[in-house]
Amino acid sequence: MRASSNSKTAHSTRMPTLSQVRLASCQHVSDKRPNRNGQSAAVLGFSKKLKGLFNKRMPHIALIGYGVVGRALGDVLAARVRGAKVVANDPKLRPGRAGKVRIEKNLPKAVAGADWIFLCVPSHLQGQGVAGPGWRKLAAQLRLHAKAEAILVIKSTLVPGDVAELEKLTRRRVVVCPEFMSEGTAERDILHPHRVLVGGSDPAAVESVIRLYRQWVPARKIIRMDAWSAQLAKLLANAMLAQRVSSINSMTALCERAGGDVRSVARAVGLDPRIGPHFLNASPGFGGSCLEKDIRLLCSLARSLGHPEVARYWQAIIDMNDAHVGRCIRKIVKLTGPKGRIAVFGLSFKAGVNDSRNSMPLRIAQALKAKGHRVIGHDPMMKRAPGLKVVDSIYEAASGARCIVLMSDAKEYRNIDWTRLRRLAPLAKIVEAAGGKVPSVFGRGTVHRLGGLS
Ligand SMILES: NC(=O)c1ccc[n+]([C@@H]2O[C@H](COP(=O)([O-])OP(=O)(O)OC[C@H]3O[C@@H](n4cnc5c(N)ncnc54)[C@H](O)[C@@H]3O)[C@@H](O)[C@H]2O)c1
pLDDT, tens digit (0-9, with 9 covering 90-100), for 397-452? 999 999 999 999 999 999 899 999 999 999 999 999 997 777 777 777 899 989 88
Q: pLDDT averaged over the chain?
A: 88
Whether the pLDDT of residue 55 is over 80: the answer is no
Ligand 1 pocket, residue 90 CB under 6 Å:
yes
Q: Whose CA is nearest to atom 6 of ligand 1?
A: 179
pLDDT confidence tier of residue 51, bands split at 50, 70 and 90: low
Q: How far is the CA of 153 from the centre of ligand 1 (A)?
A: 14
- Identify which has the larger pLDDT, 311 or 34: 311
Q: Which has more pLDDT, 295 or 51? A: 295
Whether the pLDDT of residue 48 is over 80: the answer is no
Pairing outcome for strands 101-103 and 96-98: antiparallel
Contact 414, 385 (CB under 8 A): no
Which amino acid appears at position 411 of this protein? Answer: K
SS3 for 89?
A: strand
CA distance 448 to 426: 16
Q: Read out DSSP for 312-339?
A: HHHHHHHHHHHHHHHHHHHHHHHHH-TT
Is residue 115 exposed (0-12), middle (13-18) or buried (19+ Cβ within 10 Å)?
Answer: buried
* pLDDT(340) > 50: yes
Q: Categorize the per-residue pLDDT at 132 as very low, low, confident or very high, splitting at 50, 70 and 90.
A: confident
Is there a common fold for 26-231 and 253-449? yes
Q: Has residue 57 got a pLDDT over 90?
A: no
User: In this predicted model, which residue has the larger pLDDT, 232 or 33?
Assistant: 232
Ligand 1 centroid from CA 179, angstroms: 11
SS3 content of the chain, % helix, strand, coil (to 5): 45, 15, 45
Looking at the predicted structure, is the pLDDT value of residue 41 above 70?
no
pLDDT at 42: 37
Which residue is closest in CA terms to ligand 1's atom 27? Answer: 121
pLDDT tens for 170-189 read 999 999 999 999 999 999 99
Where residue 36 falls among pLDDT bands split at 50, 70, 90?
very low
CATH class label, 26-231: alpha beta
pLDDT for 67: 96
Q: Is 70 in the pocket of ligand 1 (CB under 6 A)?
A: yes
Which pLDDT score is estimated for 30? 65
In this prediction, residue 13 carries a pLDDT of 32
**Domain extents for the chain?**
26-231, 253-449
CA-based nearest residue to 231, from 145, 281, 164: 164
DSSP letters for 239-264: HHHHHHHHHHHHHHHHHHHHT--HHH
pLDDT-based confidence at 15, cuts 50/70/90?
Answer: very low
Mutation probe of ligand 1 site: the residue of 121, 183, 291 with most atoms within 8 A of C-beta:
121
What does the alpha-carbon distance between residue 193 and residue 199 come to, in Å, rounded to a whole number? Answer: 16
Ligand 1 centroid to Cα of residue 65, in Å, is: 6
pLDDT at 453: 66
In 150-226, where does DSSP find H-type helix?
Answer: 162-170, 186-191, 203-213
Residue 425, classed as helix, strand or coil, is coil
Strands of 90-201, DSSP E: 96-98, 101-103, 116-119, 151-154, 173-176, 196-199
The pLDDT of residue 440 is 74
pLDDT of the residue at 54: 57
| pLDDT at residue 24 tops 50 | no
DSSP-derived pairing of the beta strands 85-89 and 101-103: parallel
Average pLDDT over residues 2-20: 34
**What is the rounded distance in angstroms from the CA atom of residue 166 to the CA atom of residue 219?**
28
CA distance 55 to 37: 8
Q: What's at 252, amino acid-wise?
A: T
- Per DSSP, 176 falls in state E
pLDDT exceeds cutoff 50 at 23: no
| pLDDT higher than 70, residue 272 | yes
In whole angstroms, give the CA distance from residue 413 to residue 410. 6
Helix (H) or strand (E) holding 222: strand 222-225
- At 234 the pLDDT is 97
Q: What is the pLDDT of residue 12?
A: 34
pLDDT of residue 35: 39
pLDDT at 26 (0 to 100): 56
pLDDT value for 52:
52
pTM above the 0.75 mark? yes
- Of the candidates 120, 177, 290, 299, the residue annotated as catalytic is 290
State the sign of the Cα–Cα–Cα–Cα dihedral 414, 419, 424, 429: positive
* Proportion of the chain above pLDDT 70, given as a percent: 87
Instruction: Give 327 Cα–ligand 1 centroid separation in angstroms.
Output: 32
Which pLDDT tens digit goes with each residue over 294-334? Answer: 999 999 999 999 999 999 999 999 999 999 999 999 999 99
Rounded to a whole number, what is the distance in angstroms from the first to the last CA of the chain? 33
> In the CATH hierarchy, which fold is given to the domain comprising 253-449?
Rossmann fold (3.40.50)
Q: Are 105 and 94 in contact (CB under 8 A)?
A: yes
d(CA 100, CA 207): 25
> Any catalytic annotation for residue 290?
yes
Taking alpha carbons only, the member of 237, 128, 176 closest to residue 22 is: 176
Q: What is the pLDDT of residue 422?
A: 93
Closest by Cα among 62, 69, 106 to 84: 62
CB-CB contact of 352 with 382 (8 Å): no
